[in-house]
Every structure is written in C-alpha cells, then in structure tokens.
Amino acid sequence: MKETRLMMGMPITIEVVDKNITHKDFNDIWKYFDYVDQKFSTYKDESEISKINNKSLKSEDYSSDMKLVLKLCDQTKDLTNGYFNINKNGYLDPSGLVKGWAIYNAANILKEKGFRNFYIDAGGDIQTYGNNSKGEGWKIGIRNPFNREENVKVLKLSNVGIATSGTAIRGQHIYNPKKLNMELNEIVSLTVIGPNVYEADRFATPAFAMQRNGINFIENLKGFEGYMIDSKGITTFTSGFNKYVE
Amino acid sequence: MKKYVISIAIILVIVSYIISQKLTTNTSASANIPTNNTNTSATDKTSNNGGSSSGNKSKSGIYNDGSYIGSVADAFYGNIQVKAVIKSGKITDVQFLQYPNDRGNSIEINSYAMPILTQEAIRAQSSKVDIVSGATDTSAAFIQSLESALNKAKI
C-alpha cells in the first residue's frame, strides 16, 4: 500500500509492502507529521518554535520534543564545525534537522507496529526498511540536478537513510554546464547515505555548505557514504559508496 | 635635436602604452580561463548536457550590466534570496544572499583530511526505481527570487 500527501510543504510518500497494513496505520503517520509541523514550522505563528522566536515562551516551558531537537541541533553544530547552525540573527530555525528526525520517528512508529518492509520519503529524503514488493532492496535513483527527469545513479538500499542537499534547479536555468562562465567549484548536489535518514539529513546540508570539502567531511564520517555532483556534471564519491550502487 | 628627443619620447610612450595594454588584456583573459581543478583525466563532459537545455539563452543585450538583488522568497526551510551578476548583457553569476540553514559564505573548513576520492562524469541511468532522492524543496523559491532580480536587470 502506498500513499502520498502534501505536508510540511513537500510531498511525503509512504509505501508499505507488508500485507497487514491498513489505512489507520497510514493515518497515524500523517497525524505524526502534522504534529511535527504544528510544533516546528517557522511559518506558523502558533507553532512552538514561533512562540520561542517571538519570546512568548519561556525556556522552562519548552516541550520535551523541542528541548530534544534543540539539543540535537547543538550537537550537530559541534560535529560540523559550526556549518550546521539553526541560529539566524537570534531566530531559531531547526527545520534542517527536524525533517530527517520526523521521518525517522515516523518510520519507527511503523516498526513498532510490526512492519518490516517499507519506506518513507519526504521531499527526497528517505528512510528504507527491508525490501520492495519484488523482495529486493529499495531501488533509489539520485536525480540528475541538470535534468529532473533523469537519474544519474541507481542505488539499492535497505535499512539505511538517504538525503540529498542541493539546488537541483540551478543547472537547468542558469547556465549550460558545457559553457562555463560561472564558478567551477560550485557543487549542485550532495547525497548522503547514513545509518538512518535523521543522520543522513542532518549532515547533508552542512556538507553541502562546505562545497568541495563536503565530500571529504562525509568520507571521514564513519558509517556514511556520499555522492557529490559539481556544476560541470562531474561527481565525486566516497570510498564505500559503490557498495550501494545497483 | 630637441624635436628628435620629443618624437622618440612620444614613440616610447605609445609603445609602452601598447605593451601595457597587451599585458592587461592578457591577464584579464587568463583570469577567465577555467582552471582545471577536478584532477580527472578521463571525464566525458558531454554526457551531462541531456537536460541542461534551454537555460542559458540570455542573449547579449537583454540585460543591463551590474548586480541585481532578487526578492526574498519562501522556501519551506527558510528564505532564499539571490543576486544576479550581469556582464556584457549575460548572466555571469548567481549568488545566494540568503539560503536555508545558513549555507554558504562564512566559515572556512580545512581541518579534514583530504582523501583521494573517485570521480566520474554523470550518466543517465535507465533502470526503473522505486523512489528518487534529490533536492527539490528550494527550487520554486529560487526561481522566484532570480526572476525578480532579472526583471530589475532588464533593459
């Protein structure tokens, strides 16, 4: 069974191949994403994060999920030499971590219900478990940043998370990669595979911000692999990446 | 005699002017030559043009030279704002002034070891997939901000 909804400003797709899945199980997941959105969206005035930012909530009144997320953000900032930073001119925006965290938590809800073969995909960041309907690992394409109809790599993933950070549209609209007037070092896409989507997602954005160094950062993270595409369409990937290539 | 000295001096000035002009055009020209810092040998750069398509059709003369700052556009994860740089009527650079998660320009990171990693040119894959991973969230906002920057640049 497979369902897609537009939530948190992006399409979220859940596919479960275990036979005993019901609509109620799906609805529990949609409810969870809605809960996360209500709490962490910086675009909703009534969200907890907005209340924190407009100083109408004291730190002792933060919910436990909020305290946890802010702690995880601090930790991620330390792990990335400050490249991950939710503090923008005094305003907190933990969205860069919340997305992966929410997908991972939602996946754990399905696991606790006993499901073993499924994925959750939120805006291209994906948690995989078990196998697809053919009994194989989930086949995941890495989108060509120069042509969104194409994939440039096909991976087979099971029990890991994957997240891609980048500016997929830039190659299409700004320049032809064959005619290079622009900065050559520019990275257009960086995909991270990690032990789960939370881990992959929280490192994908800061690694992208590091530009060329990002792939080295991922290489040096144990249990992570990465695949980087630069503006010329040249990719660089980590030493263990090929084990995931189909 | 005085006339000779003056005319030789004038010739010298002209010659040195020409030489200096040549030098400056040379250096500015060489600054535009892309430095090949991808250190790959066998890279097939033609394979990525599949979809880059209609992008760079900005004909010379559509835009006034200069830098133009686009509007702030909402992406789900934060705001996007770009600056378009126009030279000789063409877009030569697009810089992000704002990007979700403070991407970009502040901190240098050099503390990581620099392993030699494999490189290759991207190639379209034909096999069917269950899911696609890619960065999509910010695209609409990016276009919105860029369009407003380019509108300002229009002659």
Give the A window 93-112 contacts with B, CB below 8 Å: 93, 95-96, 99
pLDDT value for A16: 97
pLDDT band at A26 (very low <50, low <70, confident <90, very high): very high
Verify whether the Cβ–Cβ distance B38 to A232 is below 8 Å.
Answer: yes
- A151-160, A161-170, A210-219, range with the lowest pLDDT: A161-170
The predicted pLDDT at position B18 comes to 52
Ramachandran quadrant class, A244 (left: phi over 0; alpha: psi -120 to 50; beta: rest)? alpha
CA angle A233, A237, A242 (to 5 degrees): 115
Question: Could you tell me which chain B residue has the CA closest to the CA of A92?
Answer: B101
- State residue B54's pLDDT score: 29
Which of A126-130, A140-144, B8-12 shows the lowest mean pLDDT across its residues? B8-12
Average pLDDT over residues B79-106: 63
Reported as a single tens digit per residue, the pLDDT across B45-82 is: 333 332 222 233 344 567 788 888 887 776 555 566 77
ipTM of the complex as predicted: 0.82
Q: Which residues of A touch B115 (CB under 8 A)?
A: 216, 219-220, 239
| Beta-carbon contacts of residue B137 (< 8 Å; ≥ 6 apart) | A9, A10, A123, A124, B75, B76, B77
Distance, C-alpha B118 to centroid of its chain: 25
The pLDDT, as a whole number, for residue A67 is 96
Segment B105-153, tens digit of pLDDT = 323 333 344 557 888 888 888 888 999 888 754 455 666 667 777 777 7
Please, which pLDDT band fits residue A102 given cuts at 50, 70 and 90? very high
Residue A142's pLDDT band (boundaries 50, 70, 90)?
very high
Find the mean pLDDT for residues A171-176. 35
Q: What is the pTM of this model?
A: 0.66
For residue A213, the Cα-to-chain-centroid distance in whole angstroms is: 20
Query: In this predicted structure, what is the pLDDT of residue B17?
Result: 55
Structure tokens at A92: 């907190």
